[in-house]
Structure 1
Amino acid sequence: MNRSHYFNYIDKKLSWLAWRIESRGKINLLDLNIYSETFFADMLNMLFEYQLKNLNVIKQNVEGIDLVDTENEIISQVSSTCTKQKIESSLKKKIFERYKGFRFKFISISKNADKMRESTFDNPHNALFKPAEDIIDTTTIQNKVLTMTIDKQKEFYEFIKKELGNDIDIVKVDSNLATILNILANEDLSDGIESPEINSFEINKKIEFNNLQTIQDTIDEYKIYYSKLNEKYMEFDKQGANKSLSVFRLIKNQYTRILATGKESHDLFFAIIDSLIDIIVKSKNYIEIPYEELEMCVNILVVDTFVRCKIFKNPEGYSHVITR
């Protein structure tokens, strides 16, 4: 299910960020705290339709407040510390006199804030502040993500991936593809499947034919690795192992099995990816790599298999045999 796919990635990345901020803070490395101000502003804008801006960019060293949204009248502090003392210290700042009538949001970027949401606080400037609603932590964000529409969730997933995902290292991709191909090619194929057709045709026609327009971007993103993957297949096949056929058969096996469950095309596509990831991580030959790298390589494999006409229906009249 795509919701679990998106949510699990978001959850992992936000949890990693919280842990990283806390661990670096213990040795007084606070660079991530500074970068997080703009990141959390953009994230909250996306989640809650705010217009937050980093006040420290507009005016350096603003005491007690990091973000401001003049349109929705919100001011916010982003902090890796989440204690009663810290929140009350913020509420006492004179800057609240300048922002009369603004609602105060306290953003805990590394600590769970459940206890703070149940607390009461001294509020000498009478700022608009309800702890149960206005103290935001990772759990708040996770709960918000869970209630999003699938389209909004995907948009947020892409944002997190851009902000917290790793840059593409083509050398690492090359090595990871080789490792994953080896694992998949050695899987038990006791359920015999006929040798797959070796066909190619216009990709967009097949996308439309299978009602996969919602993942057009995914296919476009990963189809560019066709040549790179083809090189890997050719290298392995020259060794006489015929690994390309083994990989195609395994992926088609997953497609056939999951298709029988009645999933819609969109969900079927991502279920194949999830199934392959599960096979890989459970393999005795698997040497752990970062999840986003594993996910990327499996996306490349599945998109490539789709393009080569090994999975999903082929539009009549558009396929032709190629040799490889």
Structure 2
Amino acid sequence: MLTRGYFIGEIVDALSDIAGQVSTRGRLGLTDLNKHAEDFFKTILNHLFSLSLVNLNSERSNEPGLDLGDKTNKVAFQITATRTSAKVNDMLETLSDEQIAAYSKIRVLMIAGKQSSYTLDAGQCARASFSAEDIWDIHDLGKRCMDLTVDVLQLIYNHVHSELARIKIELEIPDTDGKYPTTLADFIEAIPKPQMSDLIKFNKLLEEEGVEEDLATTQNAFAAFSVALAKLPRITREFLVMLIERREIDRKHGNSRIEINADKLARISRYPDNAGELRVLDAYGFVWLDEPDEAGESAHWRVILPGLSPEQRLLFLQYMEANGIPLSRPLVALDFSAF
């Protein structure tokens, strides 16, 4: 079981990483924080202090002085990457009478860390009931975590864990050519490139088994099969391997077909998206659902290997078993070099 200490450590480490990244940006003169960063801290503050903050910049292009507000609890925040006294005084000066009336407690959250002391405009502080104690940073949020129950800590941990990568990407600094360290390509699975042999060995097996087929026909069939496989995501190809490995003897046609009981599949696979994988395989012609003939019987998923004829399909499996070739080599890695 995950403990309070684990959650606190993970939360504090993540927030410290963000603070360090914001600080680096600040030293380069990049002090802007986008709406996503504001929303990230909005959720954390809501969990930490049982608030109902909303992003005020969603209601208008820019709420002067303030970024987050909870009118019910009369609390508001400015979220900033700038840590200076001038920044705080500028925020206080831009506050409207309407804002001061709506929010009895106004705070500044300085993501990059706060200074050891602040020189604040006494008149503006009195007007907004503001003091240096209302200037917070990441360390103040970390201290608050120490007082929370494990249930609340887990909510914050889940939020931080799910959003941290995106926040860090949003805060990346481009190089001199305007390129960022992380791009969408880093999160997109590469299209696999099949490794093909001349298929002479497999064509010879076909001949030995009485299947009259010239080499070009075999080569074209496997080329089409590999192209079809390459269109599937890797995890879907792994799911296909599982279906074949857990296949059973066809009820009506012996070993001439590849199928698996649909009810059995639902019980042996704890993968969270069986239905999604089957939809993808169905859409790309790798499986189809054979409905039962009689009420009370199970449906069966029939496996097809598009591009291969029924004879090629069965001898393909026989060839791999006879030569000790794991299904994952051709079906997942798209390595047909042993054929």
TM-score bracket for the superposition, by shorter chain length? 0.3 to 0.5
In our comparison, the structure showing a higher alpha carbon Rg is 2
Hey, which of these two has a bigger chunk of strand by percent? 2
Higher share in helix? 1
Superposition TM-score, scaled by structure 2 size: 0.46
TM-score by length of 1: 0.48
